[in-house]
Amino acid sequence: QGTRDHAPAAVVLRDRLLAAVVGCFKRHGAAAIDTPVMELREMLVGKYGEEAKLIYELQDQGGELLALRYDLTVPFARYLAMNKITNMKRYQVAKVYRRDNPATTRGRYREFYQCDFDIAGQFDPMIPDAECLKIVHEVLSDLQLGDFVIKVNHRLVLNGVLAVCGIPESKFITASSVVDKLDKMSWEEVRSEMVGEKGLSPEAADRVGDYVQLHGGLDLIEQLLQDPKLSQNKLAKEGLEDMKLLFEYLTLFGITGKISFDLSLARGLDYYTGVIFEAVLLQQENDHVEEPVSVGSVAGGGRYDGLVGMFDPKGRKVPCVGVSIGIERIFSILEQRLEASGEKIRTTETQVLVATPQKHLLAARLKLISELWDAGIKAEMLYKKDPKLLKQLQYCEDTGIPLAAIVGEQELTDGVVKLRDVATREEVRI
Amino acid sequence: QGTRDHAPAAVVLRDRLLAAVVGCFKRHGAAAIDTPVMELREMLVGKYGEEAKLIYELQDQGGELLALRYDLTVPFARYLAMNKITNMKRYQVAKVYRRDNPATTRGRYREFYQCDFDIAGQFDPMIPDAECLKIVHEVLSDLQLGDFVIKVNHRLVLNGVLAVCGIPESKFITASSVVDKLDKMSWEEVRSEMVGEKGLSPEAADRVGDYVQLHGGLDLIEQLLQDPKLSQNKLAKEGLEDMKLLFEYLTLFGITGKISFDLSLARGLDYYTGVIFEAVLLQQENDHVEEPVSVGSVAGGGRYDGLVGMFDPKGRKVPCVGVSIGIERIFSILEQRLEASGEKIRTTETQVLVATPQKHLLAARLKLISELWDAGIKAEMLYKKDPKLLKQLQYCEDTGIPLAAIVGEQELTDGVVKLRDVATREEVRI
């Protein structure tokens, strides 16, 4: 359930997509690492908040207790701590596993790829954070997925807002996770969940509502820095100063047009400590696709300065910020677009089919194809002793092989090969 | 236990290796598929013989009972049956999982890559089988791993041998698995295990010994076809006729020099039905490496005509033959060779570092690097507001970045960039 096989055409499409993403990561100077699909269970405990119940565990068959990785961020932090690395720009493209109830029609699965880029190290504030946002902008632009917006918030701003609204600190995580639903629910629904299920006071909820429905750019940051309550809160002020600097850098990158400072963005994972962000595709008004793919989050990330320290025996911290591109949804969109275009993807790269026009020439085909392979040429032949020429040419047309190298009795006698262009039917003897 | 992280240099080396293997598979016209890392447990039952105890199971957390894939052959057969595909040439490169007690020093792990190429379909005999052997020959030659031999046998020949020697059919699998150890143990040891642990008669064991210690080429096949006992056995005769045809095709491919018909080769997996083979690297006599990597099997495969039928509700068979390249051992060898050579692998591909020679120029760097990224140029900068020029140039030297694009106050005024060749220190204003 929630997994799938990829047929050859899907693999080709996916590989194109991954190549674009990895190309962007390499453009930003990242090196690749690879970690095992399983981690010690204890490594994953306490990192994912409420979502931890979705972790796949391996059976206890003796030895260590293991689980499948839930994301690539925790393994990266574990890798840094284990190897005492304090400075690294890395990417990793790999599958992760979540025992979710997946809506596979919307491109959500239990086994899915993540493409992560992270910058670890103690640096001047917001420079790496701005680069992560630039990367999201580049990937989504490169892939021509249509309009998008990157929502940005800051955990300290959010915590500051909750504090000045009178939410007790013990309820910060609960309140944040409800506020985070503002992208899918109306404020009335969010408010009623805060007051009802979560037991927050109606007054506090209303005060929170005044803030978390705000979104904007540098102007909003300036406005909040002047806000009588927020400007008095140490957390909020620190977060807003970060945001101001971030927007300054994003302006230099020329990408603020797609960035929205959104006070409702919370993101579920426990480990974020600073800037957080999420990219969302926007459905175009004149989009008339037959089965519209639900438009949702296609990338997300943020700063997690405490995670590496959790894996270090001495608790040494390594500040990190990173982005994860969720390629499955993008893949669904590209797959649908390809289908609509009617383009047929070639699933092999064969350059030439070695063919014979008469019987009893298998030996000639085997000798010639062997020569071609040894010369690095991508070549196929039919696995029949005496195939009909028509069948052989038909195979070329079906699979997109552009050339047929034909050896008949005459060609053998003359020491030549007849090379046929399958599309034009032109032939040359070489 | 038995898993490892790959650091960036290892990933680069591994990617080179995989590219060579995949390049060969594509040269032979294969298309890629991808299957989930987990399979239904019931799919893996009864496919692996004694080795099944090494399967990793996932915990029962509700829902389907799952296990991690043990190889790529069973998932491929399941894929063919599920999709009713009767004809396909596919490759798959992916990690597989075995709860072995791994000797990691010899390149054996619990999580390791396999690179599989398989041909499914009803074809004329031995043509696809010969191509699989050609592929092994190409991969091992391309990678320049030194001398190697590809041992070939046939399950029917082996079964025929056991039959004419008086081994009861119920003991064929047991006897085969002991005989298979002849590559690591002497005949005396193998014989004593057959007679002692496995309870075969000493006379039968001796008769078996006369056959399974044989190896050779076409001459041996001819000799056995004349063998008074074997030639009377239907299984053996059919297998030997296959082998004769196979050697004819391998002769046309020009690769018989590396092929050895070895009657002791059995291979452990239950699903093989015809030709089986295994490639072994040969240690050179004048090899004086400091820590010699144990030389062993680096590729294997064979024909499995019954496996797909086990997954089809109506038992419809699809004959298959395939090869699996075990890249972990090859990787260990290449890693050791690289270390001996002293070559330093670049782990990033950055073309230019954007640098500033004075303070207060962060904005200029951010603007320039953004322009470079947008133009598709691989560029980095230090994440400091005011880094020293020396530090920036040192970073280029440490990480192999060939160029520095320097913007100072003068350059800003003049509207130029100073491009510096890091190695030669030559500079041009552009």
Among the partner-chain residues B63, B347, B377, the one whose CB lies closest to the CB of A31 is B347
Predicted pLDDT at A284: 60
10 Å CB burial of residue A322 (0-12, 13-18, 19+) is buried
**Closest chain A residue to the Cα of B30, Cα to Cα:** A348
Q: Which residues, numbered 95 to 124 in chain B, qualify as contacts with chain A under a Cβ-Cβ cut-off of 8 Å? A: 95, 97, 99, 111, 119, 121, 123-124
Whether the CB-CB separation of A39 and A29 falls below 8 Å is answered with no
Is A356 within any annotated ligand binding site? no
SS3 content of chain B, % helix, strand, coil (to 5): 45, 20, 35
d(CA B205, CA B211): 10
Average pLDDT over residues B202-230: 96
Residue B290 in this model has a pLDDT that exceeds 80: no
Q: Is A375 part of the contact surface with chain B (CB cutoff 8 Å)?
A: no
Confidence of residue A225 (pLDDT cuts 50, 70, 90): very high
Predicted pLDDT at B397: 97
Beta pairing, strands B320-325 & B111-120:
antiparallel
Among the partner-chain residues B8, B124, B254, the one whose CB lies closest to the CB of A31 is B8
In this complex, do B11 and A4 lie within 8 Å of one another by their Cβ atoms?
Answer: no
Is A158 within any annotated ligand binding site? no
Predicted pLDDT at A294: 46
**Closest chain B residue to the Cα of A25, Cα to Cα:** B378
In this complex, do B57 and A59 lie within 8 Å of one another by their Cβ atoms?
Answer: yes
Confidence of residue A290 (pLDDT cuts 50, 70, 90): very low
**Closest chain B residue to the Cα of A15, Cα to Cα:** B32
Q: Is A137 part of the contact surface with chain B (CB cutoff 8 Å)?
A: no
The domain limits of chain A are: 8-341, 352-429
Confidence of residue B284 (pLDDT cuts 50, 70, 90): low
Q: What fold, for A8-341? A: BirA Bifunctional Protein; domain 2 (3.30.930)
Q: Which residue has the tokens 């490892």?
A: B4
Whether the CB-CB separation of A332 and A358 falls below 8 Å is answered with no
CATH code for the structural domain at A352-429: 3.40.50.800
Rounded to a whole number, what is the distance in Å from the CA of A266 to chain B's nearest CA?
26
Confidence of residue A214 (pLDDT cuts 50, 70, 90): very high
Predicted pLDDT at B293: 44
Identify the helix (H) or strand (E) that includes residue A248. Answer: helix A234-253
pTM of the full structure = 0.93
Residues of A with CB below 8 A from B405's CB?
Answer: none
Q: Is B4 part of the contact surface with chain A (CB cutoff 8 Å)?
A: yes
**Closest chain B residue to the Cα of A112, Cα to Cα:** B36
Predicted pLDDT at B267: 87
Could you read off the pLDDT of A25-77 as tens digits, one per residue?
999 999 999 999 999 999 998 888 777 889 999 999 988 999 999 999 999 99
Predicted pLDDT at A293: 44
Predicted pLDDT at B102: 65
Return the percentage of chain B with pLDDT > 70, whole number.
Answer: 96
Predicted pLDDT at A183: 87
In this complex, do B373 and A27 lie within 8 Å of one another by their Cβ atoms?
Answer: yes
Is A15 within any annotated ligand binding site? no
Rounded to a whole number, what is the distance in Å from the CA of A203 to chain B's nearest CA?
41
Whether the CB-CB separation of A266 and A146 falls below 8 Å is answered with no
Q: Which two tokens stand for residue A364?
A: 């000639």
At B268, the amino acid letter reads G
Higher pLDDT: A104 or B192? It is B192
Could you read off the pLDDT of B146-181 as tens digits, one per residue?
999 999 999 999 999 999 999 999 999 889 989 999
Residue A297's closest CA among A183, A176, A146, A154?
Answer: A183
Q: Is A394 part of the contact surface with chain B (CB cutoff 8 Å)?
A: no
Confidence of residue A310 (pLDDT cuts 50, 70, 90): very high
Whether the CB-CB separation of B119 and B132 falls below 8 Å is answered with yes
Predicted pLDDT at B47: 82
In this complex, do B128 and A377 lie within 8 Å of one another by their Cβ atoms?
Answer: no
Suggest the residue from B14, B55, B59 to mutate for an interface test with chain A (most A CBs closer than 10 A).
Answer: B59
Taking chain B, what is the end-to-end CA distance rounded to the nearest angstrom?
Answer: 55
In this complex, do A366 and B253 lie within 8 Å of one another by their Cβ atoms?
Answer: yes
Residues of A with CB below 8 A from B82's CB?
Answer: 5
Could you read off the pLDDT of A143-164 as tens digits, one per residue?
999 999 999 999 999 999 999 9
d(CA A399, CA A253): 45
Return the percentage of chain A with pLDDT > 90, whole number.
Answer: 85
CB neighbours of B369 closer than 8 A, spacing ≥ 6?
A: B354, B379, B380, B381
Among the partner-chain residues A11, A61, A350, the one whose CB lies closest to the CB of B29 is A350
Predicted pLDDT at A399: 96
Return the percentage of chain B with pLDDT > 90, whole number.
Answer: 85
Rounded to a whole number, what is the distance in Å from the CA of B307 to chain A's nearest CA?
18
Predicted pLDDT at A102: 65
Neighbours of B126 (CB within 10 A): 24
Q: Is B378 part of the contact surface with chain A (CB cutoff 8 Å)?
A: yes
Q: Which two tokens stand for residue B427?
A: 């500079």
Residue B50 in this model has a pLDDT that exceeds 80: no
Is B98 within any annotated ligand binding site? yes
Residues of A with CB below 8 A from B32's CB?
Answer: 8, 11-12, 15, 347
DSSP class of residue B254 equals T
Phi, psi at A39, each rounded to 5°: -125, 160
In this complex, do B59 and A58 lie within 8 Å of one another by their Cβ atoms?
Answer: yes
The DSSP line for B43-66 is HHTTSSGGGGGGPPBBP--SS--E
In this complex, do A99 and B123 lie within 8 Å of one another by their Cβ atoms?
Answer: no
Q: Which residues, numbered 8 to 27 in chain B, qualify as contacts with chain A under a Cβ-Cβ cut-off of 8 Å? A: 8, 10-12, 14-15, 26-27
Rounded to a whole number, what is the distance in Å from the CA of A93 to chain B's nearest CA?
12
Gyration radius of chain A's alpha carbons = 28
In this complex, do B56 and A56 lie within 8 Å of one another by their Cβ atoms?
Answer: no
Predicted pLDDT at B429: 97
Q: Which residue has the tokens 């090859």?
A: B330
Among the partner-chain residues A26, A34, A362, the one whose CB lies closest to the CB of B349 is A26
**Closest chain A residue to the Cα of B6, Cα to Cα:** A34
In the 3-class helix/strand/coil scheme, how is A47-108 assigned residue by residue? CCHHHHHHCCEECCCCCCCEEECCCCHHHHHHHHHHCCCCCEEEEEEEEEECCCCCCHHHCC
Establish, for the pair of chains A and B, how many residue pairs have beta carbons separated by less than 8 Å: 193
**Spatial strand order in the sheet of B352-355:** B379-380, B352-355, B403-406, B418-421, B427-429
Q: Is B294 part of the contact surface with chain A (CB cutoff 8 Å)?
A: no
At B118, the amino acid letter reads D
d(CA B356, CA B368): 11
**Closest chain A residue to the Cα of B60, Cα to Cα:** A59
Residue B294 in this model has a pLDDT that exceeds 50: no
Residue B156's closest CA among B191, B129, B134, B116?
Answer: B129
The rounded Cα A84 to chain-centroid distance in angstroms is: 27
Q: Is B142 part of the contact surface with chain A (CB cutoff 8 Å)?
A: no
Q: Which two tokens stand for residue B74?
A: 């069973």
Q: Is B87 part of the contact surface with chain A (CB cutoff 8 Å)?
A: no
Predicted pLDDT at A220: 97
CB neighbours of A103 closer than 8 A, spacing ≥ 6?
A: A294
d(CA A299, CA B140): 41
In this complex, do A11 and B31 lie within 8 Å of one another by their Cβ atoms?
Answer: yes
The rounded Cα A160 to chain-centroid distance in angstroms is: 30
d(CA B370, CA A8): 36
Among the partner-chain residues B1, B8, B138, the one whose CB lies closest to the CB of A32 is B8
Confidence of residue B262 (pLDDT cuts 50, 70, 90): very high
Predicted pLDDT at B291: 44
Residue A347 in this model has a pLDDT that exceeds 90: yes
Average pLDDT over residues A381-399: 97
> Rounded to the nearest 5 degrees, what angle is found at the Cα of A152, between the Cα atoms of A146 and A153?
160
Q: Which two tokens stand for residue B88?
A: 């396909």
Could you read off the pLDDT of B100-131 as tens digits, one per residue?
876 665 667 899 999 999 999 999 999 999 99
Q: Is A349 part of the contact surface with chain B (CB cutoff 8 Å)?
A: yes
d(CA B279, CA A276): 52
Residues of B with CB below 8 A from A384's CB?
Answer: 123-124, 127
**Closest chain A residue to the Cα of B29, Cα to Cα:** A350
Average pLDDT over residues A397-413: 97
Among the partner-chain residues B36, B366, B383, the one whose CB lies closest to the CB of A111 is B36
Mean pLDDT is lowest, of A332-346, B61-75, B77-91, B276-290, for B276-290
Predicted pLDDT at B88: 98
Q: Is B5 part of the contact surface with chain A (CB cutoff 8 Å)?
A: yes
In this complex, do B6 and A60 lie within 8 Å of one another by their Cβ atoms?
Answer: no
Average pLDDT over residues A89-106: 85
